Structure 1
Amino acid sequence: MTILENYELAKQAYNKWGVDVDEAINTLKKVAISIHCWQGDDINGFEVNPSELSGGIDVTGNYPGKATSPKELRQDLEKALSLIPGKHRVNLHSIYAETDGVVVDRDQLLPKHFENWVEWAKKQGIGLDFNPTLFSHPKAEEGLTLSHPNREIRQFWINHCIACRKIGEYFGKELSTPALTNIWIPDGYKDIPSDRLTPRVRLKDSLDQIFADAVDEKYNLDAVESKVFGIGSESYVVGSHEFYIGYALKNNKLCLLDTGHYHPTETVSNKISSLLLYSEKIALHVSRPVRWDSDHVVILDDELREIALEIVRNEALNRVIIGLDFFDASINRVAAWIIGTRNMLKALLYALLTPNDYLRQLQEDGNFTERLALYEEFKTYPFGAVWDYYCEQMGVPIKENWLEEIKLYEKEVLLKR
């Protein structure tokens, strides 16, 4: 059978439950995933005098072909974007600035250092998001930045974050779509602290100073991101979930939830509806923790589907900013982008094809038997036929056929680096 014939049969199956498949596809077309640039070069960046990767972050693997220049990284991103259905975004860290060989410390970064990225984004017709980089730097060697007891070090990082918000604003103005500028810091202690409050007082004060600098929210959205622990901060992290959720709600900032930044028994999907009650928007970094925040490539697992269901069933596609955050150097890095992003989109399509209103009513009626039965049966409905049709409509390869292009790209481009 043809893709169209399979699609028509799938529509019949879903229509039985009141699911408008064409509408689901049209909705998915409008979703933009923010794809993280740092998967392409193992979070090295392009600073003139780069520091060792730090901040409780680790990248494992040495698969050949990683990007070693901005030009190569943009080339790889273009290839990935060409094999992912839809129009998406790219998320940058400040270490991806281009300073023409001149040493520019992070507190001195300016929009001009990202002009090449903006011109490239214009040609691609995509938006850019941004992150200050508060790791892999001599002033972050002690594992403390915005909460550091040394006022001068704190001020350096405050100035860096202020500069980054202005760069995010620049992105928004130039690309006619607001940038999300997200602050994550590695601050914490390896062993049990004798004072948990004081570092958080300093962090709050630092954030207050950062956000006091006027930036137009029409062009830049501010987010803060928590973490439960990292290498070197196993016992205490200053910017905990409780700290940032309180700060975000009180100061009208976006709370960013990273799926790898919680205890193994916690799920981000269970937090989304609660935050949406009190926040106009929230943000996600979707990753796959295996043992801790190990940032494996996103797969279509139960939690990813549940995250997508929470967004869709609560009509929050315009309120939840979805970004990815994983880094795997053990496989082809471009393929990792494609696998992860396509899976995020698959999860959203799966959610859009679920009769959420009917299942909700079953719960309200106390009909838990039918709810569970249908919830499970829909896992084997012809979702794949709809996905194939969507990919064909968007002009990208269906099923695993994109792999052939990546194999050729690896042979002709990546292995020659």
Structure 2
Amino acid sequence: MYQEAKEMYASIGVDVEQALTALASTPISLHCWQGDDVVGFESGAGALGSGLAVTGNYPGKARSIDELRQDLEQVLSLLPGKHRLNLHAIYGDFGGQKIDRDAIELAHFQTWIDWAQAQGIGMDFNPSNFSHAKADDGFTLSHPDAGIRDFWIEHCKRSRAIAAEMGKQLGSAAVTNVWVPDGMKDLPADRQGFRQRLSDSLDAVFADKLDAAHNIDAVECKLFGIGSESFVVGSHEFYMGYAQKQQTALCLDAGHFHPTESIADKISSVLMYVPELLLHVSRGVRWDSDHVVLFDDATQQIMQELVRCDALPRTHIGLDFFDASINRIAAWAIGTRAAQKSLLLALLEPRAALLEAELSGDYTTRLALLEQAKALPWSAVWAEFCQRNDVPDELGLLAKVKDYEKTVLSARN
């Protein structure tokens, strides 16, 4: 089936082997927080706050670093290609000690770096500006209280330093993404004041220039959140301008915009003004609900734009969802593989023929080629990719997940 598919794609000018090489060299950054419902390992960690919510209570949640790593290893065994780990600061190896966010150090994450080294994968990092007493009123880096702002500035600065060491030790730059939940449920009287404080705080966070070979800074916008329905300080316009001014990467989260708004259309514009792009591939259903990513139109359009813009070398792809209503291993694997399948479909488009038709004004041929590509046997190419990487194909994935649930997850309850 693969050889037949390869010949069919060749007939429209698509080199399938070249597409598979590109797919294999594009890692997806796996978000650690899917494994334990965004709890982390801080001593005395309380309930999830700052407008974040995880629904469901499926058995088998990771309760320790060892269990989370065990689950991540299982997920990696189900994914073709080499990937990355995206770690939040609350997941440090704190050894049961009470370490506040403004006191985290490399030592608290060295075992994670060692683990990633053993797995042969890179890491990304995030300061955790949420679910903390100093964020309970909805503000962190834009807080009116200078003392609270300084606390979060220090946390973010330490996070950047830790990430840079991760990148240095692993030989692959860590993307350090700064997101804050700052906003208001009702109408503010001084939007400008909050945004000026956020800008000043970010300037302080990024004051130390780190080696881009080890650390890549990113900032992330949001439309609204629970408890910040009327006003979010870090809007898209704010961070688009800030990333352009500072020449940081800009993070576009698929769940952080209006439900009818696609981030696919933003990619080509954003990349004209910022050096790199970070994508949080998610699936918001009516709001930023972070459902498991699917092989759907929205995900396919995102990947199509990355390929059509030749943006893969400047883009970092991560996932951001947390579903506790289903098997968490399945959620990770299905979501990651959906992103990979969407990317493969984009890589298998007859790009040269599409461009030729478009530039000549032959929109009939362009439309016909786009529809033709959908009907070609891409699934045979995906099956070949899975086989080459010694991971389950689509029909074998569920059995592997269920076996792990029976032998490992069920013993945790």
- Other-structure match for 1:403: 398
Deviation sequence 1:334-386 (CA, Å, 0-9, x none): 11110011111111110111011211222222222222222122112100000
Q: How does 1:49-128 map to 2 (within 5 A)?
A: 49-128=44-123
- Other-structure match for 1:226: 221
Matched, 1:326 2:295: no
- Other-structure match for 2:4: 9
State the 1:173 CA deviation: 1.1
State the 1:100 CA deviation: 1.0
In structure 1, which of residues 357, 360, 371 is the aligned counterpart of residue 366 of structure 2?
371
Q: How does 1:6-405 map to 2 (within 5 A)?
A: 6-405=1-400
Amino acid at match of 2:145: N
- Counterpart Cα distance in 2 of 1:258 and 1:119: 29
Amino acid at match of 1:284: L
- Other-structure match for 1:415: 410
User: Structure 2 length normalisation: TM-score?
Assistant: 0.98
- Counterpart Cα distance in 2 of 1:68 and 1:340: 22
Deviation sequence 1:23-81 (CA, Å, 0-9, x none): 11111111111010000000000100212211211100111001000000000000000
Which blocks of at least 5 consecutive residues in structure 1 are unaligned? Answer: 1-5
- Counterpart Cα distance in 1 of 2:234 and 2:46: 23
| Preserved contact between residue 248 and residue 254 of structure 1 (Cα < 8 Å) | yes
- Counterpart Cα distance in 1 of 2:213 and 2:4: 44
- Other-structure match for 1:3: none
Deviation sequence 1:301-339 (CA, Å, 0-9, x none): 111111111111222111110000000001100111100
- Counterpart Cα distance in 1 of 2:91 and 2:361: 53
| Preserved contact between residue 80 and residue 389 of structure 2 (Cα < 8 Å) | yes
Stretch of structure 1 that moved more, 354-363 or 10-19: 354-363
Which blocks of at least 5 consecutive residues in structure 2 are unaligned? Answer: none
| Preserved contact between residue 84 and residue 342 of structure 1 (Cα < 8 Å) | yes
Amino acid at match of 1:335: A
Aligned residues: 412
| Preserved contact between residue 283 and residue 292 of structure 2 (Cα < 8 Å) | yes
- Counterpart Cα distance in 1 of 2:230 and 2:67: 39
- Counterpart Cα distance in 2 of 1:267 and 1:151: 37
Amino acid at match of 1:87: K
Stretch of structure 1 that moved more, 289-298 or 369-378: 369-378
| Preserved contact between residue 228 and residue 237 of structure 1 (Cα < 8 Å) | yes
| Preserved contact between residue 350 and residue 373 of structure 2 (Cα < 8 Å) | no
Secondary structure, aligned partner of 1:67: coil
- Counterpart Cα distance in 2 of 1:27 and 1:252: 26
